[in-house]
């Protein structure tokens, strides 16, 4: 089987990036959205990605943009970089990504469906139950879930042998890794197909040999974010100082609160909710305090970089 038609479910921070990157690499891409209001939130993300890719390519054409720290490996290889060709691909991606509200129409000829919904198990299950009645026989489904295991949802897809995880890092054009994780019913041919697809959209495929919540990246990242939030909600210090402790002490480009703003506070909130009911004597962090804090920010419209403000303010 050859993948040609890709459908991304959800136009959030990563969903929009996955769609744009896939289109940049020549695939036919549709983003399925649940409502008109979702379109008004997703289109600006695509507008912004066009600007980001264009600015990045223009920087890559300059001497100061040709360093390991600035080069975007998801856009081009260093030795074959062609500025004009890359800019042409950006225009094509921007013009060809389709936004669709009708699920049946979105998936009618899908070779690959990439579910990139919020980390809410009930909503994912409801989606899988619905889409299982609409998919062509050929379609492979992957989840971009950052913490939930594919085995939790396989039976609801109607095709557990064609279901697995494909998880991306944020800023996909630069941090071009893709973690591929099967569940026990996944057919090996589908695992190999998704490994190949990841390479075709200029990702570095990282096989995860055993189901693990958080996969590789988030198994290391989430404890960092929890530790930063815990320091803040317990009144130990403020976000800026906590971030500086991490960035200046380790040389990392971003601290936990800068990362949270990039990922989006809705995503962080949904992850925290999974831990709130853990008995306090077993919980290593103040999850209830984190829940209260994140909900306050979200209720105030401070969703992170995508909204112009989270723990920090940004120019939109």
pLDDT band at 316, cuts 50/70/90? Answer: low
Find the mean pLDDT for residues 33-47. Answer: 94
Q: What is the rounded CA–CA span in Å between residue 232 and residue 13?
A: 25
Find the mean pLDDT for residues 3-23. Answer: 97
CB 145 within 8 A of CB 116: no
State the average pLDDT for the chain: 95
Angle among Cα 236, 228, 299 to the nearest 5 degrees reads 95
CA dihedral 272, 16, 69, 258 (to 10 degrees): -30
CB 31 within 8 A of CB 8: yes
The percent of residues in the chain predicted with pLDDT above 90, rounded, is 88
Find the mean pLDDT for residues 75-103. Answer: 97
**Distance of CA 103 to CAs 11, 31, 82, 128, Å?**
14, 10, 37, 12
Torsions phi, psi for 207 (to 5 deg):
-70, 135
The percent of residues in the chain predicted with pLDDT above 70, rounded, is 99
Stated pTM of the model: 0.82
Q: Quick one: which of 236, 222, 240 has its CA closest to 289?
A: 236
Find the mean pLDDT for residues 243-265. Answer: 96
Q: Quick one: which of 172, 137, 231, 205 has its CA closest to 24?
A: 172
Find the mean pLDDT for residues 43-67. Answer: 96
CB 130 within 8 A of CB 156: no
pLDDT recorded at residue 92:
98
For 285-297, the three-class secondary structure string (H helix, E strand, C coil) is: CCHHHHHHHHHHH
pLDDT band at 27, cuts 50/70/90? Answer: very high
264 sits in the region (left: phi over 0; alpha: psi -120 to 50; else beta) called: left
pLDDT recorded at residue 278:
81
Q: Quick one: which of 135, 95, 94, 187 has its CA closest to 9?
A: 135
CA dihedral 151, 155, 156, 161 (to 10 degrees): 80
Type and span of the H or E element at 182? strand 177-182
pLDDT band at 223, cuts 50/70/90? Answer: very high
All domains in the chain, ordered by first residue: 5-208 (3.40.50.720), 219-307 (1.10.1040.10)
Q: Quick one: which of 178, 194, 4 has its CA closest to 96?
A: 4
CB 150 within 8 A of CB 179: no
Give the three-class secondary structure for 134. coil
CB contact set of 229 (below 8 Å; sequence gap of 6+): 256, 260, 268, 272, 285, 290, 293, 294
CB 84 within 8 A of CB 61: no
Look at 96-100, 219-223, 247-251 and tell me which has the smallest mean pLDDT. 219-223
HSE-up (13 A, CA, CB side) for residue 239: 14
| pLDDT over threshold 80, residue 280 | no
Q: What is the rounded CA–CA span in Å between residue 235 and residue 170?
A: 29
CB 104 within 8 A of CB 189: no
Give the three-class secondary structure for 208. strand
pLDDT, one tens digit per residue, over 122-154 is 999 999 999 999 999 999 999 999 889 999 999
pLDDT band at 102, cuts 50/70/90? Answer: very high
pLDDT, one tens digit per residue, over 189-213 is 999 999 999 999 999 999 998 999 8
HSE-up (13 A, CA, CB side) for residue 241: 6
pLDDT recorded at residue 118:
87
């Amino acid at each position: 089987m050859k993948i040609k038609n890709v459908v991304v479910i959800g136009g959030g921070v990563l969903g929009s990036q996955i769609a744009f990157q896939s289109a940049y690499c020549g695939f036919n891409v549709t983003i399925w959205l649940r409502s008109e209001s979702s379109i008004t939130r997703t289109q600006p993300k695509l507008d912004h990605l066009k600007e980001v890719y264009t600015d990045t390519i223009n920087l890559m054409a300059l001497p100061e943009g040709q360093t390991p720290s600035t080069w975007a490996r998801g856009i081009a290889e260093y030795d074959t970089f062609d500025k004009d060709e890359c800019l042409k691909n950006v225009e094509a991606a921007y013009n060809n990504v389709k936004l669709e509200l009708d699920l049946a129409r979105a998936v009618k000829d899908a070779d690959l469906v990439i579910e990139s919904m919020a980390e809410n198990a009930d909503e994912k299950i409801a989606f899988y139950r619905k889409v299982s009645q609409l998919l062509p026989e050929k379609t492979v489904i992957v989840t971009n879930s950052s913490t939930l295991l594919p085995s939790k949802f396989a039976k609801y897809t109607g095709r557990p042998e064609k279901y697995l995880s494909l998880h991306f890092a944020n800023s996909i054009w630069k941090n071009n890794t893709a973690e591929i994780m099967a569940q026990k019913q996944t057919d090996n041919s589908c695992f190999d197909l998704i490994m190949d697809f990841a390479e075709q959209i200029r990702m570095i495929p990282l096989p995860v040999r055993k189901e693990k919540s958080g996969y590789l990246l988030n198994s290391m990242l989430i404890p960092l974010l929890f530790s930063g939030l815990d320091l803040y909600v317990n009144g130990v210090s403020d976000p800026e100082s906590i971030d500086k402790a991490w960035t200046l002490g380790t040389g990392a480009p971003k601290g936990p609160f800068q990362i949270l703003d990039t990922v989006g506070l809705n995503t962080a909130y949904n992850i925290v909710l999974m831990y709130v009911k853990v008995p306090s004597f077993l919980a290593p962090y103040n999850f209830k305090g984190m829940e209260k804090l994140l909900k306050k920010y979200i209720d105030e419209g401070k969703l992170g970089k995508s909204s112009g403000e989270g723990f920090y303010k940004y120019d939109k």
